[in-house]
Amino acid sequence: MAGELPVLYSFRRCPFAIRARMALYYSGVRVELREVVLRDMPRELLACSPKATVPVLVLPDGAVLEESRDIMDWALAQHDPEGWRPQPGSADAAAAQCLIDANDNDFKPRLDRYKYAERYPEQPAAWYRAQGERFLDDLERRLECHDWLLGGRMGIADVAIFPFIRQFALVDRVWFDAGPRVNLRNWLDGLLQAELFSAVMCKYPPWRRGSCAPLFP
Ligand SMILES: N[C@@H](CCC(=O)N[C@@H](CS)C(=O)NCC(=O)O)C(=O)O
């Protein structure tokens, strides 16, 4: 149901929702935040997005954005104070797109197999981890050349990919910290310590119809 403010259905720990919240927070666009429980999604969400994933952003005109990348793009189109979004059609835009595609289409399924290895007993967890490490190596090579994935300043690719690297590292932080990817570790730690990240990780009770949802940011 459309209201005065955009409504964001979100799940705190979901990496797709984290990147959407980071982009919204950065853009300064105020939304009503409705925290959901994945196994008990509210009827209001299912009514506007039957595919039943989060994040979902419902705009005041009733338009529904059901993909985290669309939500990020929408937020940055409203306000992009530090130029996270490369010029549309530029080589930088193509590079960002390509890297985020690699994260979403290739790395994310490997992350899931590593994180939930007991559900995929065909191989041990370390095997799935090694599959994911190829992407970590790619990121490490980039970060050897500059502080951010695509150059000298933070951009959409950093924010879109960071929550997934965080999850990968969290599976076994001791292993991650003992590994050779110093630049990737510094990049991850920098983002983990950023106010932007802590601001979007506040805990809220699940939204129920009639309950008052927090405004965000
Ligand atoms: N392509 C979607 C993926 C979103 C997604 O898979 N979200 C997960 C949570 S991290 C979800 O809602 N899963 C539904 C479920 O587990 O029931 C996006 O980028 O927004």
pLDDT of residue 2: 47
Whether residue 3 is predicted with pLDDT greater than 80 in this model: the reply is no
End-to-end CA distance of the chain: 21
pLDDT of residue 210: 87
Task: Tell me if residue 8 falls in helix, strand or coil.
Answer: strand
| CA-proximal residue: ligand 1, atom 17 (nearest) | 38
**What number does the ligand 1 atom closest to the CA of 69 have?**
19
pLDDT per residue over 96-145, tens digit each? Answer: 999 999 999 999 999 999 999 999 999 999 999 999 999 999 999 999 99
Does residue 15 contact residue 206 with C-beta atoms inside 8 Å?
no
What span, in angstroms and rounded, lies between the C-alpha atoms of 7 and 190?
A: 29
| Structure-token pair, residue 46 | 């299912």
pLDDT of residue 1: 45
What span, in angstroms and rounded, lies between the C-alpha atoms of 45 and 36?
A: 9
**Spatial CA neighbour of 148 closest among 184, 189, 177:** 184
Average pLDDT rounded to a whole number, residues 149-174: 98
**Residue whose token pair is 């981890």:** 129
Q: Distance from the CA of 192 to the center of ligand 1, in angstroms? A: 22
Percent of the chain beyond pLDDT 70?
Answer: 99
| Structure-token pair, residue 179 | 């590994």
- CB-based pocket (< 6 A), ligand 1: 11, 14, 16, 38, 53-55, 67-69
- Our mutation pick for probing the ligand 1 site, out of 11, 13, 54, 57, counting the most ligand atoms within 8 A of Cβ, is 54
What span, in angstroms and rounded, lies between the C-alpha atoms of 60 and 5?
A: 6
Q: Distance from the CA of 111 to the center of ligand 1, in angstroms? A: 14
